[in-house]
Chain A
Amino acid sequence: MKKTNITNYKKESWIGLLYITPWIIGFLVFTMYPIVASFYLSFTDYDLLNAPIMVGIDNFKKIFGDKEFLKALGVTGKYVFIVVPLKLAFSLFVAFILNMSLKGINFFRTAYYIPSILGSNVAIAILWKFIFSTDGLVNQVLAVMNIAPVSWFGQPTPALFTIALLRVWEFGSTMVIFLAALKEVPGDLYEAASVDGSNKFRNFFNITIPIITPVIFFNFIMQLIHAFQEFNAPYLVTSGGPMKGTYLLPMLIYDHTFKYYNMGYASAMSWILFIIIMTFTLITFRSSKYWVFYNDNGGES
């Protein structure tokens, strides 16, 4: 009896493996292989045409004296610093509103998700260019309010801001995750709090936020990783300008690969970027025990 159970189990596990084979193949070919290849290439000088030449850690040594890299790193840091908190706050805000029981709420929930479906494609890039151009929508609104027009694409800092805003605008997926978390917050907690004379504001910061910290944590890390890898928006909208003000690290890596043909150097930069992302993620994980609460064992852990 017991024996047949084990064989059945084994058999089923093979079927399970069979089911995920497409994914495994995809993972090996499109993810694992490139990772191994890029690791190898990061120690070589490779121009895409001739065979890679081993150069040891020269690429890595060069990176830290490379002004372009340091500048791009600075800009990337700034971008992450702007986009992650802004996006989290905004999507939480929208999720909070959409969590209210209003008439036709499902319509609004759908409507607010639409920007995320559109993605940062070429059409959105064009839309963005028009909204923020000299005589664009934003400057026209500012003019009505008697505020001098802003040189959105013409100056580095506003340009970086417009790029960040494009990502913030696509808040849909983070918003949905927040919304699910908000719906999980037990209503009796609010009732109990209001009996004790707490107001909405306090409820939010003392009940809602602590309970959804695991989800904030999740969204924070996902957004952090995405932000460090941002490529589409600056590539399509500003091509990294003006004065390299929106020239993020992934763009530099792309240019070194396909424009200057330094595949080896670009791979080395990718690995540095990977280490940076990893470090930030680990820090977040470490810090999580001080601010993330799990209520599965009956309270704060």
Chain B
Amino acid sequence: MKKVLAMSLATCLLASSMVGCAGNKPDPAAETKSAEPAVQAEEPKKEEAPEEVELRISWWGGDDRHVPTLDAIKKFEELNPHIKVKSEYGGWDGHTEKINTQIAGNTATDIIQVNYDWLNRLSREGNGFYDLEKLSETIKLDNYTEGDLAFGRRNGILNAIPVSTTGRSIFYNKTTFDKFGAALPTTWDELLASAEKFSEKGYYPFDLDNGAGFTTWYMVLAYMQQKTGRNYINEDGTLGFTEADIKEGLEFYKLLEDKKVIRTVEERTNEAGTTPLYQTPSWIDGRVAGVLEWGSSVGKYEQPLVEKGQELVLGELPILTDAKMTGWFVKPSLMFAINKDTKYPEESAKLLDFLLNDPEAAVILGTSRGIPSSKAAVEALKSADMLKGIAFDATQQILGANPTLISPFTENAKLKEIYTRTVENVSYGKGTIEEIAKTMHAELTAELANLTK
């Protein structure tokens, strides 16, 4: 009995501890196994003229993006009966990790929706993705300005095409502001004073997210860039801000908390753990009445309010009167790239061009990926009278504000971790702001040096 028990225990221990130390590995292996046959199965029949082809495409987003994209792909399949398209899509959470695993295991999809900061890592020398200029007979690149395409270039090679450009704007729940008879803030001072009219307990005029979206630090950056005229991260990837800049920025953040413009990190986390703001009762019931969000994805904030008879409006971008630069940012919201190892570059290019530049597809897709950069797509949306709403207004606003281009390093995972931790320390009062700023400055400098080496 004793022996049997000991042996079974030992086996269990071995098996489960192995799973433990192997940690995340089984997943990539599993994906490799399941995904590869699909691609390889196509190989045998190559001679026939309209060859049966199966393409795979991946993207992230919400339902407001999934549904139109799937519809557009269905349309594409109708027009090209010999091409079958397999879609792999999901939310943003964990998507980067999934794509990284696929790329590492050579099982990435033929067409990949990529984020701006991925190119730095996945295609440092410019050879991480298919050179799209080789496919320019199929993809009508003349729909884009050279400035737009520059976002997708690495080492001069066109790795990806930006679908749209976007920046964060400020949006207010007008219903709540009206309830308190408060005017929508237009300047930083008005924003700082905006909580004065919010007399009822538990109501806040604004919200900043200290998680993956790091709007806490984003807001600080906009403010401090205006104040100092310095870029947060220089073009060469070095830190533009001084320690004093960071300290002042963090003090500004603390002021927002102290003046009850926003909730403290503790109050915010405590409401619902990691649930995104737009799914929490505070937002849906209008108790938190402002948000800093990308114009290209504000829809998910607007929808729940509309359902409850509330109104979300675009606010003005606060700009200091003696601002040395507008300080607000813009970046390509997302881009499309083609797998460098794809078996079907021509067909992939065809699908990509359809999604980006085809007028019919443009109308189906609408503004689910922001206001398209493609001239043909914009024309199609204009004639269908689909260029309206706060997403469109926000994009116009930010593009018209002489914005700074976000450094591709800004959204690096390690840097984001530093922002989150730093703001937490300020909010929970772990140490003086001076010490916290000093640590942050040292950490940012070190990490940026590490990223650019």
Which A residues are closer than 8 A to B by beta carbons? 29-35, 37-38, 48-49, 125-126, 128-130, 132-135, 151-155, 214, 217-218, 221-222, 225-226, 228-229, 236-239, 241-244, 250, 253-255, 257-261, 266-267, 270-271, 273-274, 277-278, 281, 285, 294, 296, 301
Task: Give 14 pairs: A residue, B residue, CB < 8 Å, sorted on A.
Answer: A30-B26, A31-B19, A49-B128, A133-B270, A133-B273, A134-B271, A153-B269, A221-B13, A222-B12, A222-B16, A238-B274, A239-B211, A259-B96, A274-B17
List, in ascending order, chain B residues with CB within 8 A of A239's CB.
211, 274
Given contacts A243-B424, A250-B23, A254-B23, contact A261 B273 (CB under 8 A): no
**Which of A239, A258, A271, A278: most chain B CB closer than 10 A?**
A258
CB distance from B446 to the nearest CB of A (A): 13
Are A271 and B21 in contact (CB-based, < 8 A)? yes
Q: How many residues of B contact A (CB 8 A)?
A: 51
Given contacts A38-B23, A241-B424, contact A129 B273 (CB under 8 A): yes
Are B17 and A225 in contact (CB-based, < 8 A)? yes
Are B25 and A34 in contact (CB-based, < 8 A)? yes
- Tell me whether B121 is interfacial, beta carbon within 8 Å: yes
CB distance from B10 to the nearest CB of A (A): 9
List, in ascending order, chain A residues with CB within 8 A of B266's CB.
151, 154-155, 242
Are B30 and A49 in contact (CB-based, < 8 A)? no
A253 to B122: give the CA distance in the assembly, Å.
21
**Interface class of chain A by DSSP:** helix
Are B424 and A273 in contact (CB-based, < 8 A)? no
CB distance from A43 to the nearest CB of B (A): 14
Closest residue on chain B to residue A275 by CB atoms: B21
- Which residues of chain B (12-71) have a CB below 8 Å from chain A? 12-13, 15-26, 29-30
Are B22 and A34 in contact (CB-based, < 8 A)? yes
Closest residue on chain B to residue A47 by CB atoms: B121
Are A31 and B18 in contact (CB-based, < 8 A)? yes
Are B23 and A266 in contact (CB-based, < 8 A)? yes
Are B269 and A241 in contact (CB-based, < 8 A)? yes
Are B20 and A229 in contact (CB-based, < 8 A)? yes
Closest residue on chain A to residue B264 by CB atoms: A154
List, in ascending order, chain B residues with CB within 8 A of A217's CB.
9
Contact check: which of B6, B26, B100, B273 meets A153 at CB < 8 Å?
B273
Are B270 and A134 in contact (CB-based, < 8 A)? yes
Given contacts A49-B103, A294-B1, contact A254 B24 (CB under 8 A): yes
List, in ascending order, chain A residues with CB within 8 A of B211's CB.
239, 241
Closest residue on chain B to residue A46 by CB atoms: B104
Contact check: which of A30, A132, A135, A296 meets B30 at CB < 8 Å?
A30
A293 to B195: give the CA distance in the assembly, Å.
67
Given contacts A155-B266, A243-B428, A270-B21, contact A49 B5 (CB under 8 A): no
List, in ascending order, chain B residues with CB within 8 A of A222's CB.
12, 16
Closest residue on chain A to residue B30 by CB atoms: A30
A243 to B265: give the CA distance in the assembly, Å.
10
Are B428 and A242 in contact (CB-based, < 8 A)? yes
Contacts A38-B21, A243-B425 supplied; 5 other A-B pairs, CB < 8 Å: A130-B272, A153-B273, A222-B16, A229-B19, A236-B274
CB distance from A288 to the nearest CB of B (A): 9
List, in ascending order, chain A residues with CB within 8 A of B101's CB.
48, 258
- Tell me whether B236 is interfacial, beta carbon within 8 Å: no
A49 to B128: give the CA distance in the assembly, Å.
10
A296 to B2: give the CA distance in the assembly, Å.
8
Contact check: which of A128, A238, A242, A257 meets B23 at CB < 8 Å?
A257
Are B24 and A258 in contact (CB-based, < 8 A)? yes
A152 to B275: give the CA distance in the assembly, Å.
14
